[in-house]
Structure 1
Amino acid sequence: MSADVSNALEPWQIHGERTLYDNRWVKLDLVDVEPPGVKRFEHHVVRLQHVSIAAVLDDQDRVLMLWRYRFVPQTWGWELPGGIVDEGEDAHSTALREVEEETGWRPDSLKHVVTYQPMVGMVDSPHEIFVGCGATQVGEPTDLEEAGRIEWVPLADIPAMMARGELMGSGTLVALLHLLASRGKSAAPTASA
């Protein structure tokens, strides 16, 4: 959409909001909104934490992943390391920390590639994606809640894993799709970078 078109549109007016539920994990607000040309109404907004996710490649074009169980969908699947950005911490530091805590590997470096909202219509939860090449094994995972199987998965296997429904979480999908789309382009991370 061109800037001219978006400049001609009006944002929704917010007349107020009240919190229905709030704890350290989730906040539910009821927001009094008025879209242009539409009658005013109350809209539920779920506010979740700021999240950071990392895709780390090795020199064999494999990505560091976790095979783990998620009780909400009651299924096993593959995920990239990641987690909540702690208060006072920047997203880059979170990505580095989460990779090490969840896998025992310390990334050589990470580069930010995108920030997105996974459910922009009702949920506020910024997700930041980082990619990098190279890592050093520094020990065993220290976050036992995240424990599962840790593997370097060939990037070439990702499309088949996706087709089988083995990849969990939008952050994992966004990061892996970025890596696949970037292959062969100068912007793609490579082991020599």
Structure 2
Amino acid sequence: MQKKLYEETLKTKDIYKGSIIDVELQDVLLPNGRESKREIVNHPGAVAVICITEEDKMVLVKQYRKALKKAIAEIPAGKLEKGEKPEICAQRELEEETGIKAASLKLLDSFYTSPGFANELVYIFEAEGLRSGEKHTDEDEFVERVDVSLEEAREMIKTGEIHDAKTIYAVQVWELQKLRSKL
């Protein structure tokens, strides 16, 4: 790692320990020799699943997001449990939220959601070989399954009904797959 693009952690103070995130305050030494502070959100990581039905519809779940003060439509997703493999989590979340099981899941990509202050890494899977399962959300989770066409998904992005990066990414992946299949 180049010294000019590195910050040495001098001291760490735990600010908050929660069930989803932990927050810490770090004193850091900057490349120019000065000191600064960094507020860091530690997250165990998450998964998200692109699920396209035989009817050529993307499976979304609508859920109220308190931080946004509104409901948005998202691809099925969830937080990794400690030590859980992403593929196992993706299979679990897909069935819990939608009632769909996948014969297999293909890892497409992973990305950091907000690298300026958080270490959350989201793994994006594509579900293959869909079959019926059993929907059983967590007791504090209220979701509504919505299956949409590509055109409907594009419109939902325009109106803000889809308004999160992982779902917009999923719609773009789907659109690219459709374009490639026409070539």
- With the length of structure 2 as denominator, give the TM-score of the two structures: 0.87
Matched ranges for 1:169-188 at <5 A: 169-185=164-180
Of 83, 87, 92, the match for 2:82: 87
Of 36, 42, 50, the match for 2:37: 42
The alignment-based identity, stated in percent, is 21
Provide Cα deviations, 1:119-151, integer angstroms capped at 9, x if missing partner: 100112111111123411123x21154333212
Unaligned runs of 5+ in 1: 1-5, 187-193
Letter of the 1:60 counterpart: E
Letter of the 2:24 counterpart: D
Tell me the equivalent position of 2:126.
131
Residues 59 and 133 in structure 1, CA contact (< 8 A), matched pair in contact too: no
- Distance in 2 between the 1:8 and 1:17 partners? 21
Q: CA RMSD in A?
A: 2.1
Deviation, 1:110, is 1.4
Deviation, 1:62, is 1.1
Provide Cα deviations, 1:140-184, integer angstroms capped at 9, x if missing partner: x21154333212211232211101101143322222222223433
Q: How many residues align?
A: 180
Post-superposition, which runs of at least 4 consecutive aligned residues in structure 1 deviate over 4 A? 6-9
Letter of the 2:165 counterpart: S
Residues 154 and 171 in structure 2, CA contact (< 8 A), matched pair in contact too: no
- Distance in 2 between the 1:74 and 1:10 partners? 37
Unaligned runs of 5+ in 2: none
SS in 2 for 1:61: coil
- Distance in 1 between the 2:156 and 2:168 partners? 11
Deviation, 1:116, is 1.1
Tell me the equivalent position of 1:142.
136
Provide Cα deviations, 1:33-72, integer angstroms capped at 9, x if missing partner: 1221251111111112311110111233211111222222
